[in-house]
Structure 1
Amino acid sequence: MSPRADAARNRSAVLQAADDVFVEHGVTASTEEIARRAGLGIGTVFRHFPTKEALLKAVYEQRLERLAARASTVGTGNEPLTWFREFFTDMATTSAEKLILADALSDLRMDADPEVTARLRSAVGALLQRAQAAGAVREDVSFDDLIALLIAAGRAAQATADARTRARLIDVILDGLEPRG
């Protein structure tokens, strides 16, 4: 394996391990645990991410990139209401983890890369437009409305240990997004 491919593999391993460790133990988890989980030395972690803050930001941005990619591919095959509900539910239930990272970055006064957030905004905005054109979401719902509701659903998921209650709360939000008949 070339040195460049090896470095890319190591960076990917660090990001995956950091994501797992931050989800399991919070953002105060040690970089030593991340290195151990990645099967690498602590020096390799810091070679790719000179500070823990840089690592937190990279993990958060990777999650945003995955969300943008997912939003870009949603909407084929199933009925519009089904795919939109599945996307929203998935995002709401996994956003609690993103919110932990986002809160940590906010506390550090760091923002995600503007290019990453622009890609996310474009992908989720296009998804919302497809859902509205298909009649699955009210026409008066804006991108900012949708993001605020996803954040609210994520906060509810953080605060609610009971899976049935979380599902019911997400359903209430989704019902409110449907066009009025």
Structure 2
Amino acid sequence: MSTLQIDRIHHVAYRCKDAKETVLWYQKMLKMDFVLAIAEDLVPSTKEPDPYMHIFMDAGNGNVLAFFELPTKPEMGRDPNTPNWVQHIAFKVKDRETLLAYKAHLEANDVKVLGVTDHGIFHSIYFFDPNGHRLELACPDEHEVEQLKQLNSVKWAMLEEWSQTKRAPKHAAFLHEKEFKDA
């Protein structure tokens, strides 16, 4: 008898403007390997005539980031009602030293980087890929284990309060105290 349980994410797919540019950018900027490419004139699931290039990048530890280039479709855009900071892809890096090395590498290659932002349990930098997708690199904080325990103990109370009030519960306000201290 099979148990219903997700093993892991197989891949996450986004649209890109140019498959080759995307592969080269992710190789250079994030040091990801180009895993494979698939191209068809018909969509296998729907049989719709729609030529595409589907590329796959190695995001580490069996994680795969994929993109579709769709040359016959209108230019890609974003949901105008969703702020740019909301929808993003976050990648974990080993430690703060690695995070800062990536920040320097990106900036040396003319990528505008926001941060380092202190989220308490982790620290992040933010930037955009050539397709306009917001990316985040995050490294764990030295107090991650204790803070995760604290967050775990309040998650249901926070969710319930939010669902009733649609106002930010303050159970986890300690995470961003440093970020908002001078705001």
Report the TM-score when normalising by structure 1. Answer: 0.24
Q: Tell me which structure has the larger Cα radius of gyration.
A: 2
- Report the structure, 1 or 2, having the larger helix content: 1
| Greater RCO (Cα-Cα under 8 Å, separation 6 or more) | 1
- Report the structure, 1 or 2, having the larger strand content: 2
